Structure 1
Amino acid sequence: MLVYGDIETVQTVKEKQAAVAALLESVRAMPPGIARHGTLVTLFIGASELVQGVVDAGFHERGFDTLAPDQEAGMACLVRLAQEVDRSWRSGFASAPPPTGALSGLRAFNPDQIIRTRQAEGYAFYALYPESYLEAARSSGLGPDTRVIGIRSIGMSLSALVAAALGAPVPFTLRPVGHPFEREVRVDPALTHRLTSGKSGAFAVVDEGPGLSGSSFGAVADWLEEAGIPRERIYFFPSHGAPLGPQASDRHRERWRCAPRHLVPFEDLLLGPSDSEGLAAWTASLLGPLEAPLEELSGGAWRARAYADEAQWPPANIQQERRKFLARAGGAAWLVRFAGLGESGERKLAMGRKLHEAGFTPEARALCHGFLVERWHDARRLDRVPVDGGHLVERVGAYLGFRAGHFPAEEQQGASLQALRHMATYNTGQALGDEAAAALTTSLKDAEALEAKVRRVWTDNRMHAWEWLVLDGHLLKTDALDHNAAHDLVGCQDIAWDVAGAIVELDLPEEATSRLCELVQQHSGYPVHLDLLRFLLPCYLAFQMGACHMAAGALGEGNEAVRLRRAAERYRHLLRQPGIRQEQEEAPAG
């Protein structure tokens, strides 16, 4: 099934340089503390994205990796910034701010060059903290003669952290290419000889993951072994301690099992034994003294608080869920949820506050180094409480209309209709066969013509009934900030994507659908194009079917897998008959 996708930003080097320079000025103007440290990490991530974009542009032009001047200058700058992150972290966020010349290594880049930068998944989705690699390197026992090799994209910044903590030379980075399960590296032979000709010293291979196959780690280790480096001199710095995934080769699996690996898990870094340190201390600095230890709600555990019986639980992709905790302070309950390192957390805080002020979502109180603090309500969910259908449609229409009117997005922040069409026909073929896929291909033939009608916004992308709270007869939308920039291929879409989601997830009849479209236009000032909605509805079903199917496959057996397979089957059934009349025209003006 097609579900996942990379988020890329296309911009000039000058634009990225200006953004990074502004962050440096912000850091220098802030007082010491966790807020300044968080902004420093945002600066470090932004600079890493700039260097990654420049180095990847050179790689794609040449077709192989080499130690070009841009890479040397850029990596030297990242190591320097990593040292600043390390100083701040080890000083309890009290160290002096970086000097004004901290970004000097980035000024030699061609400002007019167009680059593509990739969002680092670990920083954005999976609570991968740069500080964990500093601690892993420090506890590894490796010395300053270690040759550090990063795997782009995120391995570029992670390798700078490892080198900074070890006092090692500036790292070299590689871009594995090819099939996701059979990656390979392409390196200048002269550089390979130069890097591997030493008779001693360790090689540290640094990246997040491994994923389903670990083939990126494996490709770099294969390259080193083929260049004559003994296996015992190769050390891995991953983000988790699990074995390689089910798609790994036998050779890679055997090497991974025996190889030394160095990591510091999230729990060891931020969930210490004392409430005076880590995430608990950060939360208390915002809310006041905690009345109880943080309660883990990750991996679907939140459902135990929301439902009286496990038999009522909705499905959850527990491997993709963000880290989240329940905090109690000042007589209130708060959800402390990972929103992302870098700029995404600030954007979500601003969006959350705006939605709350309009009365649609719980209060968004603050952001603290990647974690968003929101009000927690012990209220029943819409999937367990009967609500008047007219009231439901009015409320959903007002909510989607507000989003459509207040949160415009850029074209590059979401999949094109052609990409959605490809995903939908592929997933349909996998689930329903070639004949159904061919029929859907024909019915979705207008992708290019409809693209002109798409007006991208920061859509909700999570309209499921269990994501709505019924609080004193009033509907509040939860989980409203993350799914428009999740680890999937959808991203920001026309508001018609959320209308399709509401139709499916709230089981809206035809007359309610028409009223919903009218309300969205009334509250936003923009129409819901019915031909676009007809196009997006099967795409929505095919995506959700694929996501549930893949999540169930990753779990194998158990109650969670059963819930996910049941949900996938529901989407599969609906995909046979999307249920929007073909003769309907565009929704009338409000």
Structure 2
Amino acid sequence: MIVYSDRSRTEDPRALVASLRQAIAAPHVEPSAHLVAAGVLEAGLVDMLSPEKDEEHPLARTCRSVVMDLAHAVRSDADSDRLASAAATLTAIEAGPLPTLVKVSEPEGFSFYALYPEMYAEAARRFLKAASPRYATVIGLRSIGTTLSAVVAAELEAAGVAVRTFTVRPRGHPFDRELRLGPRLKAALEAGASGHVLIVDEGPGISGSSFACVAEAALRAGCPEHRIALFPSWDSDGAGLRSERARDLWPRLARWTAGFEDVLLDSGRLVRPWGGGTLRDLSGGLWRALLASPDDEPAVQPQHERRKYLLTRDGNAPLFLKFAGLVERGRRALDRAEWQAEAGLAPAVRGLADGFLAYDAVQGTPLRPEDLDGALLAAMGGYLAFLRSGQARADVPRFEDILHMTRTNLAEGLGLEAAGRTGWMDRQRAAVLARPALACDGRMLPQEWLRTATGILKTDGIDHHDDHFWPGMQDIAWDLAGAAVEFGMGDAALDRLLEDYTERSGDRDVVTVLPFYTVAYLAYRLGYASLAAETLGGSMDGLRMAKDRDRYAARLRQELEREGRA
């Protein structure tokens, strides 16, 4: 099943270097933004320099020095000497030979999962207190491990520890990664075997094999188990990891973590910008306790939900806090949230701090499919017309990608015969490509709509066009199809929605591509619900996802039959 959308992009590395150098020189930009950008740059360049196996190219060492300078600048409250050093090194990089293009990707933990570099700094301090190392080799797993390993290494260096640090890219099947090292990095690992070896990354993921293959390389290099330390984003005893090698190694190795609670909650840091108060955790589906009908709760995949909290404050109105992403991603989310709120289409936004957007906690009732009425259809039509008309930038639809996702999910979810009934979609190529793909909503589920005393508002419409799932930038027809599917609209309700939308937008051609996007949307949701049901198993959400999977499958069969008769 295909549910994740490729968020990587191809960039000119010289332009990235110049942009980072200029940003460092600009006033009022937090060093953490530079650190994240430098980690992205280093990961992209080193991947390009080491396509088959990891080796230490001179440019890789130079990039590592930039990220280390910026990691020190972050921990030392914008150390001007370190910032100047990073800028000077970037100037030298810009003047030298560089690849024409590099492939870079946004670090997901910083963007979606409320992962903070400070967590790794705190984990490093705990390690220092317990282990008192004299020498350490710090290995980051690209891509986000590039930044995180620099944070750990900077804490060690600041404590007087001699540090050797580099990054690697485990390769091969996701459940059976292997580490391929060139002679220089092999020698570096062997030289560091007499000290501690620290392995740093987000995760572990489903398998844990990336961490495991690096730990195995350290063992082969002669480092004893008791001097190998893992720095993941969350701790685990390893029993649930799918890689047998990881299950074997994980409980035998020291693990150092500091959680979100340690850094943001226990310290009061999350509530401080809003004057303090009491938090209620609404993450991982806990928000459903606020629904009027808890017996009919919508399905969620808790692992994919952003952190969110209800903040109650003495003498002040309550706020809803939701993680929107660190640095530049958070600022983009704030701009879009304010744009929607100023139009009266979404809750008012009070600001952004530490990657969390603060909204007014509006009193209202989240909707259900049976709540569909004329007022809601009019609100939907107006909202989608606003999204389409208010954006200057648009992309070309990814026709081949959409078709590939649709047919793959149909084949795996309904069988090859169903996938073979999509020949009509090829004939819509010209119509699809003639329309813009833009920053749509991407999540038209009933519970995302709130009926309040003053009207209907859309929540959670900020960045589903730009997360690591489908749809990505997409035709607004994707959202029209999503609304029709999720509310179980018949022909009369869909006609009313299209009438409201086209009257406000002038987009009368959307009807020509709506069948294409309806099947594509259903195929994506079939894939998502199928994988979530498998992952969540016999839990209540697993059962709910299985029910959704069957609902999407039934609707897909209907749509394919309808188009087959057309």
Distance in 1 (CA, whole Å) between partners of 2:492 and 2:138 is 62
Distance in 2 (CA, whole Å) between partners of 1:575 and 1:401 is 26
Q: Residue in 2 aligned with 1:238?
A: 232
- Of 382, 397, 417, 1:435 maps to 417
Per-residue CA deviations over 1:305-357 (Å, capped at 9, x if unaligned) read: 233x4212111111111111111234312111100113111111001111111
CA shift, 1:207, in A, is: 0.5
Letter of the aligned partner of 1:24 in structure 2?
I
Letter of the aligned partner of 2:331 in structure 1?
E
Q: Residue in 2 aligned with 1:258?
A: 252
- Does the C-alpha gap of structure 1 residues 304 and 251 become closer, same or farther in structure 2, counting only changes over 3 Å? same
Q: Residue in 2 aligned with 1:345?
A: 330
- Of 202, 214, 221, 2:215 maps to 221
Per-residue CA deviations over 1:344-377 (Å, capped at 9, x if unaligned) read: 1111100111111111100111110211111112
Q: Residue in 2 aligned with 1:17?
A: 17
The SS at the match of 2:180 is coil
- Does the C-alpha gap of structure 1 residues 388 and 251 become closer, same or farther in structure 2, counting only changes over 3 Å? closer
Alignment identity in percent?
A: 35
Q: Would you say 1:497 and 2:468 are equivalent positions? A: no
Distance in 2 (CA, whole Å) between partners of 1:535 and 1:465 is 22
- Of 265, 281, 288, 1:303 maps to 288
Q: Would you say 1:418 and 2:418 are equivalent positions? A: no
Given that 2:110 and 2:326 are in contact with CA atoms closer than 8 Å, whether structure 1 keeps it comes out as: yes
Matches within 5 A, 1:241-390: 241-244=235-238, 246=240, 248-272=242-266, 277-284=268-275, 289-290=276-277, 293-307=278-292, 309-329=293-313, 330-383=315-368, 386-389=371-374
Letter of the aligned partner of 2:33 in structure 1?
T
Given that 1:53 and 1:115 are in contact with CA atoms closer than 8 Å, whether structure 2 keeps it comes out as: yes
- Does the C-alpha gap of structure 1 residues 132 and 575 become closer, same or farther in structure 2, counting only changes over 3 Å? same
Q: Residue in 1 aligned with 2:38?
A: 47
- Does the C-alpha gap of structure 1 residues 373 and 172 become closer, same or farther in structure 2, counting only changes over 3 Å? same
Per-residue CA deviations over 1:106-159 (Å, capped at 9, x if unaligned) read: 231446731211111111111000000011011103435100111100011011
Given that 2:193 and 2:222 are in contact with CA atoms closer than 8 Å, whether structure 1 keeps it comes out as: no
The SS at the match of 2:245 is helix
Given that 1:517 and 1:528 are in contact with CA atoms closer than 8 Å, whether structure 2 keeps it comes out as: no
The SS at the match of 2:440 is coil
Distance in 2 (CA, whole Å) between partners of 1:271 and 1:466 is 27
Distance in 1 (CA, whole Å) between partners of 2:106 and 2:297 is 32
Q: Residue in 2 aligned with 1:139?
A: 126
CA shift, 1:15, in A, is: 2.7
Distance in 2 (CA, whole Å) between partners of 1:258 and 1:409 is 52
- Does the C-alpha gap of structure 1 residues 233 and 15 become closer, same or farther in structure 2, counting only changes over 3 Å? same
Given that 1:13 and 1:113 are in contact with CA atoms closer than 8 Å, whether structure 2 keeps it comes out as: yes
Q: Residue in 2 aligned with 1:553?
A: 534
Letter of the aligned partner of 1:84 in structure 2?
A
- Give the stretch that moved more between structures: 467-476 or 518-527: 518-527
The SS at the match of 2:177 is coil
The SS at the match of 2:127 is coil
Given that 2:377 and 2:496 are in contact with CA atoms closer than 8 Å, whether structure 1 keeps it comes out as: yes
* TM-score between both structures, scaled by the size of structure 1: 0.88
Q: Residue in 2 aligned with 1:475?
A: 456
Per-residue CA deviations over 1:47-106 (Å, capped at 9, x if unaligned) read: 21112111111122xx22111111111111111111111123xxxxx9779644433222
Distance in 2 (CA, whole Å) between partners of 1:175 and 1:5 is 21
Distance in 2 (CA, whole Å) between partners of 1:199 and 1:101 is 30
Given that 1:148 and 1:169 are in contact with CA atoms closer than 8 Å, whether structure 2 keeps it comes out as: yes
Given that 1:408 and 1:457 are in contact with CA atoms closer than 8 Å, whether structure 2 keeps it comes out as: no
CA shift, 1:521, in A, is: 4.2
- Does the C-alpha gap of structure 1 residues 583 and 184 become closer, same or farther in structure 2, counting only changes over 3 Å? closer
Distance in 2 (CA, whole Å) between partners of 1:383 and 1:22 is 49
Given that 2:136 and 2:164 are in contact with CA atoms closer than 8 Å, whether structure 1 keeps it comes out as: no
Distance in 2 (CA, whole Å) between partners of 1:206 and 1:192 is 18
Aligned-CA RMSD value: 2.6
The SS at the match of 1:578 is helix
CA shift, 1:433, in A, is: 1.8
The SS at the match of 1:155 is helix
- Of 69, 78, 84, 2:73 maps to 84
Distance in 2 (CA, whole Å) between partners of 1:296 and 1:450 is 45
Letter of the aligned partner of 1:41 in structure 2?
S
CA shift, 1:503, in A, is: 1.1
Letter of the aligned partner of 1:321 in structure 2?
E
The SS at the match of 1:484 is coil
CA shift, 1:189, in A, is: 2.7
Letter of the aligned partner of 1:465 in structure 2?
P
Which ranges in structure 2 are unaligned for 5 or more consecutive residues? Answer: none
Matched residue pairs, number? Answer: 555
Q: Residue in 2 aligned with 1:33?
A: none
The SS at the match of 1:278 is coil
The SS at the match of 2:121 is helix
Distance in 2 (CA, whole Å) between partners of 1:396 and 1:578 is 22
- Give the stretch that moved more between structures: 4-13 or 533-542: 4-13
Per-residue CA deviations over 1:206-236 (Å, capped at 9, x if unaligned) read: 1000111011112212222333333333211
Q: Residue in 1 aligned with 2:519?
A: 538
Which ranges in structure 1 are unaligned for 5 or more consecutive residues? Answer: 31-35, 89-93, 586-590
Given that 1:417 and 1:451 are in contact with CA atoms closer than 8 Å, whether structure 2 keeps it comes out as: yes
The SS at the match of 1:181 is coil
Q: Would you say 1:570 and 2:551 are equivalent positions? A: yes
- Does the C-alpha gap of structure 1 residues 527 and 260 become closer, same or farther in structure 2, counting only changes over 3 Å? farther
